[in-house]
Amino acid sequence: MLFNFNKTKMRKIDLLKLLNKNIKNTLIETLSIEFTEIGDDYLLARMPVNQKVHQPDGVLHGGATAALAETVGSAASSILAKGGKSIIRGIELSINHLKSITTGYVYAKAISMHNGKTMQLWEIKITNENGKIISLAKLTTLTLQTN
């Protein structure tokens, strides 16, 4: 992911608008992922659960859930990156699927566990509309500085 954010110069609402604008013609748009909230150490996004993200038996596909987790964690790293322009790369994703879901929305909240200059660690909880945990992910991202 490539974003050029400086959170001290942009309001959170403007960051959300920019995040959601930058998803055109990507997997993020295909999965209808929407960024909904930014905090000082977290980012929240949601994804609809429908036929587009179902397994053949009608439940949310784990790969779609993993894509949601990596998306929100990488975007959070971009927002909280230390320094100027940077490219964020997810280098490891681990996810446990704990409960199935067939309809509604899932919400992914990436919380910073470590925000180093070059490496970041994120815990990403994926919940349903009632706050019940669906999946739990851990994402490690790498920040590469660009000119």
Type of residue numbered 134: I
The SS3 assignment for 142 reads: strand
Catalytic site residue from 29, 34, 37, 70:
70
Residue 70 annotated in active site: yes
The CA dihedral of 76, 78, 84, 88, to the nearest 10 degrees, is: 140
Rg (CA), the chain: 15
Q: Taking a C-beta distance cutoff of 8 angstroms, is the pair 50, 103 a contact?
A: yes
Point out the residues that are catalytic: 70
